[in-house]
Amino acid sequence: MRVMLDTNTIVSGVVFQGSERHLLHAIFAQGHTLVLSEYVFQETKRVLTRKFPGKEFALEAWLQLTEVERVPLPQAERAKEAQGLIRDPKDAAILATVILAKPDIFITGDRDFHTPEVAAITKVLTTKDALLLL
């Protein structure tokens, strides 16, 4: 299965013991492909470096363990189109990448993605629901 994660899910999985960490392990152990947006990757590294110094190396180590499909930054016009589908303009680049990559599931705790508009594009799950599915 091709699984895309949002920044908040990756950060929580790398930093904390909990559901998100279990999710990262499930993706690896079950041989799923992580669809990794370049935007999310860069944002995750910035958050880890700023809030949890040293943990950015844990991210790199985890990425070495699982199959990763990298998705480049979306074109500006794609991000602009996605803005009409999501409340927070900062999330438009992520949604544009979801539209481009077409993952089987997109996992995020950000409620702005759990809307009928986004659900029409992709299957959006919380970590808890994703763990039940995987």
Query: What are the tens digits of pLDDT across the range 28-39?
Result: 889 899 999 999
Q: What is the pLDDT of residue 47?
A: 95
Kindly state which CATH superfamily the domain 2-126 is placed in: 5'-nuclease (3.40.50.1010)
The candidate with the shortest Cα–Cα distance to 79, out of 60, 55, 101, 95, is 95
Q: What is the pLDDT of residue 126?
A: 96
Q: What is the pLDDT of residue 79?
A: 78
Q: Residue written as tokens 């299957």?
A: 123
Domain ranges of the chain: 2-126
Q: What is the pLDDT of residue 88?
A: 83
The candidate with the shortest Cα–Cα distance to 42, out of 58, 24, 56, is 56
Q: In the chain, pLDDT over 70 holds for what percent of residues?
A: 100
Q: Over the stretch 37-67, which tens digit does the pLDDT of each residue have? A: 999 999 999 999 999 998 888 888 888 888 8
Asked if 4 contacts 41 with a C-beta cutoff of 8 angstroms, the reply is no
Low-confidence ranges of the chain (pLDDT < 50): none
Q: What is the pLDDT of residue 10?
A: 94
